Structure 1
Amino acid sequence: MGLFRRKPRRDGRDAPRDPEFAFLSVAEGTRFRGLVRESFAERGLEVSVFADMVTDSDGRQFGLGNLAAVCHNDDRGPRVWPDLVRQHVGMVLRAMDAPSALETLPTEQIRAQLYPRVVGAQGLDTSNFRYARDVGPGLREILALDLPESVMMLTDDALQPLGDLAYLRDQALYNLRGLPVEAHETVQDDEGMRFEVVLGDSFYTASRVLALESVVREVTGEEIPADGALVAMPFRHQLAFHAIRDTGMIAALNGMAAFAATGFEDTPGAISPYVYWWHDGTLTQLSDREEDGEGLRIVIGEEFHALLERLVADEQGRSGEGGA
């Protein structure tokens, strides 16, 4: 899994855009939805196709957003869309038709397969996830059951028979810390900008921000400094961080802001387009969209501003000592 996606040959940006998925042209959107309808029909299920979902005769709804993004981001281009759609529909229907894992798996096995998952607050149905914990601005933590072909996000009703919520979360965090770092890349330039990116096929890669200390230790061999770290979770398969040790974090902040915004766009499992300051386990948002929706801006509060001033003063002090 690479950091920067090479775009396949597709309709140009001057082609009319699909009204629901702007990363597709109108023609691509029509083809994509036709493939979805065909794939369901191949499995004996007639569906009504809408802009962002399909429904069957029983009223079951299947969202199309993530699948559309998967097709869009596959470097092989539209020639592989039929296989991608067919595989996805098959997986969804197997999961829907199979007995619930909550009914067939022993409780201890369920607990062993629990993981915390960080998701964007927008779109989360709070009526079914009242237990969801605020992680930071626009971010929520829920619990998920990891299954061979899918991830089951657990609602209030699903969690209730499993035991105490605090215990379940502790178990989920324990499981999260045990995950391996699948891949790691360093993003840097000639101007001194540098940050680290953990990548992986795991749906919980970005959620490892909840266990950042262990991730930083495994990737860098060092502990998180007292001043914390910059972090970004553009989508579920990436976690970027920069440990704050000096004024190098200014360049890292700007670089990570662009990285997060770009990674968030048109990706399956999108979480947040922003950069956050991780400090003692608390996340503070540092980047935002311009008011007109175009471009990015850095927004810092008093505490982070004081940190920045201290780092600048410390660096100037060291420079002065060297000059003396």
Structure 2
Amino acid sequence: MWTHRRPRGRDERTAPRDTTYGFLSLDEGAYFRSQVREAFAERGLEVTIHATEVSDSAGRHFALTDLAAVCHHDAGGRGRWPRVIRDHVDRVLRVADGPSPLDTLPHEELLTRLRPWVVTPDVLTPDAATPMAHTHARVVAPGLCEVLALDLPESVMPLTDEALSSLGDLVDLRRRALANLRALPLETHSILHGPDGIRFHVLTGESFFTSSRALTADQLTRDLTGHDLTSAGALVSIPNRYTLALSPITPATPLLPTLHGMTAFTTANHTHAVGPVTPDVYWWHHGVLTRLIHHHTGEPHLTRPAEFDLLLMRLTDDDAGERP
């Protein structure tokens, strides 16, 4: 129910694997990198291939991991990779070589494009040139942080502290960014069902901020179901930036089976995904995300915060009280 078919024209899983991208065979990895090198060369750039990125003579670095995953998932198979890669290279070079939106867009449009972006801390790892670029980023849960970013037509631009200072007061900017996130239109909504009464909502789309809507699980629940969250909150996961899973908790929710079902879904849609975020599952409760499933050494482990244990006991008691 929660797995994907291998795209046509792909090597079998029994073929020797690429050492960096295990979802590619050794031969596919070599072909992928050769096409990346050719695509940059056709645009006048000689690049050095590294494990997960390329660099050019100007010291610019271009990540490859998402592009490799896009090729891996392309239904057209390996024959489409050259076009996919060249389209991607054209896009990143347009962004890299073009003027900064901070210099070209009106102030009000910049504020309209402002969003809170939920990412893993490694996305914001500073380089030597900008060691303190994102001190405004805040931890929203173990393994997740929020940075303010611009939602641009072809990219997302995480804003540095310096850029934010030119836009206004940080508290006001965060408030505006969150309101913008809440106002985003709904994308593709589906409901997944499983054994033992498992049922949860899945939101998917093309926005880089689809998964960031975990911050607004209360509003998202109203948008998806027409009902408010109960005081028990919701189970939430964000396996990749284009996917969010949500299960509002009600007295009828089989909580542990749903948690296990969402864990399986999240793991399946995190591994080898484009824009992976986290395989973990969280509890959204009064605006706070608490991690319930933590993947340690590749295996999911259930954490049992005291407040969540109390919720489990209350739901169990309510369920027992309703039985004849």
TM-score, reference length from structure 2: 0.94
Q: How does 1:83-102 map to 2 (within 5 A)?
A: 83-102=83-102
Cα pair 1:18 1:26 within 8 Å, conserved: yes
Q: Paired residue for 1:193, among 189, 198, 201?
A: 198
In structure 2, C-alpha distance between the alignment counterparts of 1:154 and 1:34, rounded to whole Å: 33
Q: Paired residue for 1:313, among 303, 314, 317?
A: 317
Partner in structure 2 of residue 258 of structure 1? 264
Partner in structure 2 of residue 18 of structure 1? 18
Shift of 1:307: 0.9
Query: Secondary structure in 2 aligned to 1:191?
Result: helix
* Count of residue correspondences: 317
Q: Deviations over 1:294-321 (max 9, x none)?
A: 54232212111111011101111111xx
Q: 1:4 to 1:179 in 2, by over 3 A?
A: farther
Query: Secondary structure in 1 aligned to 2:5?
Result: coil
Q: Deviations over 1:229-269 (max 9, x none)?
A: 00000011111111111341221101001111111111122
Which shows bigger deviation, 83-92 or 261-270? 261-270
In structure 2, C-alpha distance between the alignment counterparts of 1:143 and 1:16, rounded to whole Å: 41
Q: Paired residue for 2:302, among 298, 302, 306?
A: 298
Partner in structure 1 of residue 4 of structure 2? 5
Shift of 1:36: 0.5
Q: How does 1:110-121 map to 2 (within 5 A)?
A: 110-121=110-121
Partner in structure 1 of residue 129 of structure 2? none
Shift of 1:113: 0.8
Q: Paired residue for 1:268, among 236, 249, 274?
A: 274
- Structure 2 residue 240 is the aligned partner of structure 1 residue 241: no
Corresponding letter in the other structure for 2:194: D
Shift of 1:289: 2.6
Query: Secondary structure in 1 aligned to 2:117?
Result: strand
Partner in structure 2 of residue 215 of structure 1? 220
Corresponding letter in the other structure for 1:257: T
Shift of 1:3: 6.8
- Structure 2 residue 127 is the aligned partner of structure 1 residue 122: no
Shift of 1:4: 4.7
Corresponding letter in the other structure for 1:159: L
Partner in structure 1 of residue 186 of structure 2? 181
Cα pair 1:242 1:249 within 8 Å, conserved: no
Q: 1:14 to 1:6 in 2, by over 3 A?
A: closer
Partner in structure 2 of residue 34 of structure 1? 34
In structure 1, C-alpha distance between the alignment counterparts of 2:281 and 2:34, rounded to whole Å: 38
Q: Deviations over 1:35-69 (max 9, x none)?
A: 10111111111111122111111111111111111
Query: Secondary structure in 2 aligned to 1:134?
Result: strand
Corresponding letter in the other structure for 2:188: A
- Structure 2 residue 215 is the aligned partner of structure 1 residue 203: no
Cα pair 1:6 1:75 within 8 Å, conserved: no
Question: Which runs of 4 or more aligned residues in structure 1 lie more than 6 Å from their structure 2 counterparts after TM superposition?
Answer: none
Shift of 1:159: 1.5
Cα pair 2:115 2:148 within 8 Å, conserved: yes
Partner in structure 2 of residue 105 of structure 1? 105
In structure 1, C-alpha distance between the alignment counterparts of 2:186 and 2:134, rounded to whole Å: 29
Q: How does 1:38-53 map to 2 (within 5 A)?
A: 38-53=38-53
Q: How does 1:275-286 map to 2 (within 5 A)?
A: 275-286=281-292
Cα pair 1:229 1:243 within 8 Å, conserved: yes
Corresponding letter in the other structure for 1:274: D
Q: Deviations over 1:71-109 (max 9, x none)?
A: 112222211111110011000000011111111111111
- Structure 2 residue 160 is the aligned partner of structure 1 residue 151: no
**Runs of 5+ in structure 2 lacking a partner?**
127-131
Q: CA RMSD in A?
A: 1.5
Cα pair 1:122 1:138 within 8 Å, conserved: no
Cα pair 2:197 2:254 within 8 Å, conserved: yes
